[in-house]
Structure formats: structure tokens, C-alpha cells
Amino acid sequence: MVAGASRCPQAIRGYDSRPVNIDLRDSWTLGNVLIPSRLVLAPMAGVSVQAFRRQGRRYGAGLVCSEMVSVAGIQHRNERTLGYLRVGADEHPLAIQIFGSDPVAMAEAARMVEAAGADVVDMNFGCPVKKVTKTGAGASLLDDPDRACRLVEAVAGATSLPVSVKTRRGVENGSRDCLTVGPRLVEAGAASLTLHPRSAKQMYTGTADHSLTAELVSLVNVPVIASGDVTSRAKAQAVLATTGAAAVMVGRGAQGNPWALREIMGDDSEPSREEIVAELLLFIRETVRELGEFRATGFLKKFYGWYLGQGRFPKPFKQELVVLKTIDEVESRLLAAAPGAADVLERLEADLGPADEVLLDSLPISLYGGG
């Protein structure tokens, strides 16, 4: 168990209200991979592009994760290519997440993940989206633990990388299936488990029941990552203290808001107007480099609201950006709103440096729902 992760049995039915002092900068290990902080950036479809992951690393995430990669796309080679696997030198440690229901295809995908330069193969057993679950993948695997274990065995046997599994509490509301399936996944070869203690039917409604996380920690001898409702430093420390988890995973709270990660890591200073615009401009440029301007133009629209929301900029300004037709127009409008952002952006780009990537040009990927 990680230093400072001792569980408080009297508090596992809720969050401990007493002051806690857990250092999220403590390192821990996932298999043979050293993770330099106890903050993990979640894999999110339509969000976790390389620009998002690189930003997460800069703001304190010890481990970053790709969005889901369809193993069917790898096996059949007949899907339109939506992008290429890119692994930047400054992303490590990086987990690439795969999903599917066929052991042979999953094993092949794991070998390609290793070839791409990832540090961890992550398996998605938690996605609640119907187009994924109806294929026997994602959260539906919690109703088929034998198949789930065969998938983990196939992946663990195909790669030298540690294998992690991201899962939910179960398919049905109130399910405790994660407590029976989780230990079996570890026996099958999982080096770590991530638990989002909502049911698949809940999607993202209600609250995450981290008493289940604490119970899972007590049942397995591998690190458990606690996912769900970690929105502040206080919540992160409370979840770690009351569950014994090795790390916390942050997802939606970091969308267009890297300062949430900074706050969790101990710096609660508010970003300036210039810092917000500079980070958005850097994100735009990095995304255009990765996806190309045509794809990036539509992809980025949701990020404008995420970055500029929370009262940071007037709502009409965000709406104005969404209707602009080109990236150049968006950049010009942002710099007009915060001229000092140009100097901040220049410093950010100098510190970031070029993206030294490994590319797998033959790998088609398919992105579906989140996990």
C-alpha cells in the first residue's frame, strides 16, 4: 500500500470529515511503472487527445490516459481512420486504453499498444454507452466475468506492459459485482484496477459510492485507482484517506480546466484572464497539429465553453467563438480579448517544446463513448 494511504475503517461509508494531510505528490507503482503523483487523468472519448494529455502532465497528473481505441478497428482494418496513435516524449507515463470483446483481437491490440510506446495497457470494462455494451464490451463484461477474465489473460499474455482495468460497480443500480469480478481480474493478470463506483445504468448521475472502493482495496493486492466525483483537493484527500486507494482519477472536472488539477495538487490560485486564453490557444494549436485543421475546427468547439465558462468570460463571447469559421479567426478574437495572452503563450510554447512522437500509420482507431 502507498505511504499515507492507510484506510480509516470507521469512515468507509462516507468521506472522513476530519482534516487529512495526504501528499498527492507521493509516487507509487503500477506493475513496474513508477507513477510520480497520485493524480491520474481519466481516459475520455472525444476529449483525451494528445494536447489534453500533455496539458494534464504539466498540471500535475502522474499518469495520463488515451481515449478508447477499438480493437475491432485494429483487427479488421476496415474502418475509416479517425486518427493515429501518437505518443509524445513528455506524456510518459501513458496508458493507452482499448476496448473489445474478443480475446484474440484484444491481444493483438495490446501488442500494438506496446509498439506505440505506451507504458500501460488499460482495458475498458466500464463504458456504459449502448453502442459499446451491445457488442459485449465495456460495462457489459461485468455481467460476463468469465469472458472478462479471458480478455485480461489474453492481454496480459500478449504484452510485457502492466495491464490495468477500468470498471464500474456493475450494470444495475446497487450492484456490487465489482467486488466479485475485481479479484478475479487480478488473478487473471491485472496489475491495477480503476473503480468508478456508479452503475452502468447511472451513467454519470447520482454520486459515486466510494465505500465500494474501500471494500475493493481490501480484497486485492494491487493498486486501486478511485474514480468519480473527485472535484477538489479536499475531496481527493478524503477519498484517498477513507479508501486506501493508491491514486484518484479526475475526468470531467479537468475538461478545459487544468487549474482543477493544479488545485488538487495544492495550488489553489485562480488563473488570470491571460493565462486562460493562453492555455486555450496552446490547446488549439496542439490539436490542429494532431488532428489537422478540418477535424480540429469542429472538435474544439466544446472546449471554448469549458475554458471560458465558470464566469471567466461573458457567455456571448463563447457563443461568438463557436460560430467563427476558421481557427485563425478564433485565435484573433481570443487575442483581442486578452492581448497579454500572447506573451504567456510564447512562454508556454517555449517550455513545451516539440512533440517527439511515435506514429503507427497503419492503425485505424474508432472512438465511442466514455468509460
Is the model's pLDDT at 3 over the cut of 70?
A: no
Beta bridge partners of 206: none
Q: How confident is the model at residue 280 (pLDDT cuts 50, 70, 90)?
A: very high
pLDDT at residue 10, rounded to an integer: 40
Question: Does position 9 have pLDDT exceeding 60, yes or no?
Answer: no
Q: Identify the pLDDT of residue 305.
A: 94
Mean pLDDT to the nearest integer, 278-301: 94
Q: Find the mean pLDDT for residues 361-365.
A: 42
Asked if pLDDT for residue 18 goes beyond 80, the answer is no
Least confident of 49-63, 82-96, 307-321: 82-96
Residue with cell 493478470: 189
34 band by pLDDT with thresholds 50, 70 and 90: very high
Distances 208 to 168, 214, 216 between C-alpha atoms, Å: 10, 12, 14
Minimal CA–CA distance to 142: which of 200, 207, 62, 73?
200
CA distance 197 to 217: 13
Q: Does residue 116 surpass a pLDDT of 50?
A: yes
Q: Indicate if the pLDDT at residue 83 is higher than 60.
A: no
Report phi then psi at 309, rounded to 5. Answer: -80, -160
Our answer to whether residue 149 is catalytic in this structure is no
State the angle between helix axes of 273-291 and 341-352 in degrees (0 to 180), rounded to the nearest 10: 50
Cβ count near 239 (within 10 Å): 27
Max mean pLDDT among 35-44, 45-54, 197-206 falls in 35-44
Q: What is the DSSP string of 161-203?
A: S-EEEEEEEESSTT--THHHHHHHHHHHT-SEEEEEEEETTTT
Q: Is the pTM of this model over 0.75?
A: yes
State mean pLDDT over 215-240. 97
Which of 250-259, 271-280, 359-368 is the least confident region? Answer: 359-368
User: Quick one: cell of 188?
Assistant: 487473471
> Residue 356: what pLDDT?
58
pLDDT confidence of residue 74: 67
Give the bridge partners for 193, in sequence order.
Answer: 165, 224
Amino acid at 326: T
Average predicted confidence (pLDDT) for the chain: 88
Residues in Cβ contact with 350 at an 8 Å cutoff, skipping those fewer than 6 apart: none
* % the chain with pLDDT above 90: 74
**Nine-digit cell at 66?**
488515451
Please give the domain boundaries of the chain with CATH numbers for all domains: 9-268 (3.20.20.70), 273-352 (no CATH)
The pLDDT of residue 81: 28
In DSSP notation, 250-318 reads E-GGGTT-HHHHHHHTT--PPPPHHHHHHHHHHHHHHHHHHH-HHHHHHHTHHHHHHHHTTTTS-HHHH
Render the burial of 190-200: b for 16+ CB within 10 Å, e for the rest: bbbbbbbbbbb
Residue 354 pLDDT greater than 90, yes or no: no
Mapped onto helix, strand or coil, the DSSP state of residue 335 is: helix
> Comparing 277 with 81, which gets the higher pLDDT?
277
Q: Considering 8, 65, 127, 178, which one is annotated as catalytic?
A: 127
When pLDDT is averaged across residues 224-237 and rounded to a whole number, the result is 96
DSSP label at residue 10 = G
145-188: pLDDT as tens digits: 999 999 999 999 999 999 999 999 999 999 999 999 999 999 99
pLDDT of residue 12: 44
